A and B are shown apart, each in its own frame.
Chain A
């Protein structure tokens, strides 16, 4: 059973470009979470999605950032017009269906390291 997959693992963008980060949850998981780790900081929650629904985006910057989890395909975190401050490691996690189980373990991917030049 493959774990949470993220790609690309490393992404370099110039200021003003767009960054698209992809996350494929574990098989059978329908809950996806995105976290960001800025340099010298801990992991910080960004957004929680279920299939075709954003449940909680309270940790997401209001501008330039968006996330989706379509019915088919991976979850996408999109950053428009990137700035140097967006340089960070972005982690995706998934958890199984169901209220109780979904609030227990979140399984993490290896992250995407974004560098904005």
Chain B
């Protein structure tokens, strides 16, 4: 994998359903994986920064896992609420070399929670 890929591109779920989506990233020269939550016309909001293989982070009903060996992260939302509707972005940060401060973003997963 050369780029950061996110799937699905968009997702509609009913209120109360749990859901998850995927971020794939280059596993070589890896330093950190960032998740952001982005509502239209607002600033992307930092959710998690993950660095270690096997990392699990949780913030309320949202959690994320990280597998650096195979280059993927999952974001889970338990009991989705309408206010969870947003685009969820992931971005990888390389360990060293040119561009080691550049976040490389996926195109995002747009989540719509239907009341």
Contact = CB atoms under 8 A, between A and B. Distances in A.
Given A4-B43, A42-B107, A107-B46, A102 B34 contact: no
Interface in A88-117: 91, 102-111
Contacts of A31: 101
Interface stretch (B52-60, B62-70, B71-79, B92-100): B92-100
A48 B101 contact: yes
Interface residues of A, number: 26
Given A3-B43, A42-B105, A44-B105, A103 B100 contact: yes
Interface residues of B, number: 26
A74 B109 CA distance: 32
A62 B41 CA distance: 29
B39 to A, nearest CB: 10
Q: Most chain-A Cβ atoms within 10 A of its Cβ — which of B91, B102, B106, B108?
A: B102
Interface string A44-83: 1100100000011011000000000000000000000000
Nearest to A48: B101
B65 to A, nearest CB: 18
B36 interface: yes
A56 B31 CA distance: 18
Contact of B102 (A3, A48, A102, A110): A48
Q: Which 9 A-B pairs have the closest CB atoms?
A: A45-B102, A42-B105, A43-B105, A42-B107, A108-B44, A110-B43, A108-B43, A105-B46, A48-B101
